[in-house]
């Protein structure tokens, strides 16, 4: 158990040093040496955890995307209570948990593909969720999911741009819009 904690601490230190360096220079220009010096570890210790810089950034991005997808996958209408959106709130809680990491990853020194990968991850999770409920019009569903995916990311970027909104506020807003569109266009129910 101690080894697992030590491994987690080392990986955490490496990732934080890497993200700190990314605040001042593009990740493609960061060397393993710079990271190991910042963390005060040997190069071999770095390579025990990551293959290279690209593996390091990929691990950070994939962890964020997988956690977001896990929460998005739970968004459904089962047990829906009007005005309550705990599943949407959960998505924003994960995004806010990784707010600083995302801020750096989405910056000019970050990985331009991260936003695309996050978008695809959310889209695929939503598509799986809504197709489980057998929607009546799959073509419109794809447009709906694209719109909602962009909305989730847009609200998160709104927060990153300095608008102090909580996960609860962002989740409620996303949930209300999602529900309105779902009722009106996907299910063809009257919007009351």
SS (H, E, C) 86-141: HHHHHHHHHHHHCHHHHHHHCCCCCCHHHHHHHHHHHHHHHHHHHHHCCCCCHHHH
Q: What is the pTM of this model?
A: 0.83
1-39 residue pLDDT tens:
556 888 889 999 999 999 999 999 999 999 999 999 999
Arithmetic mean of pLDDT, 102-129: 90
């Amino acid at each position: 158990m101690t080894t697992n904690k030590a491994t987690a601490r080392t990986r955490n230190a490496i990732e934080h040093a890497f993200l700190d360096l990314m605040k001042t220079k593009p990740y493609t220009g960061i060397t393993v040496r710079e990271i190991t010096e910042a963390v005060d570890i040997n190069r071999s210790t770095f390579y025990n955890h990551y293959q290279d810089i690209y593996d390091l950034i990929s691990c950070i991005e994939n962890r964020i995307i997988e956690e977001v997808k896990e929460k998005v996958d739970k968004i459904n209408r089962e047990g829906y209570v009007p005005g309550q959106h705990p599943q949407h709130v959960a998505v924003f809680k994960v995004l806010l948990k990784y707010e600083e990491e995302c801020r750096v990853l989405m910056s000019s020194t970050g990985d331009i593909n991260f936003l695309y990968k996050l978008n695809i991850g959310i889209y695929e999770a939503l598509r799986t969720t809504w197709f489980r409920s057998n929607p009546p019009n799959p073509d419109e569903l794809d447009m709906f999911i694209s719109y909602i995916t962009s909305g989730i990311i847009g609200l998160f970027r709104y927060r990153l741009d300095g608008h102090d909104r909580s996960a609860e506020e962002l989740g409620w807003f996303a949930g209300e819009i999602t529900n309105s569109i779902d009722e009106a266009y996907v299910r063809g129910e009257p919007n009351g």
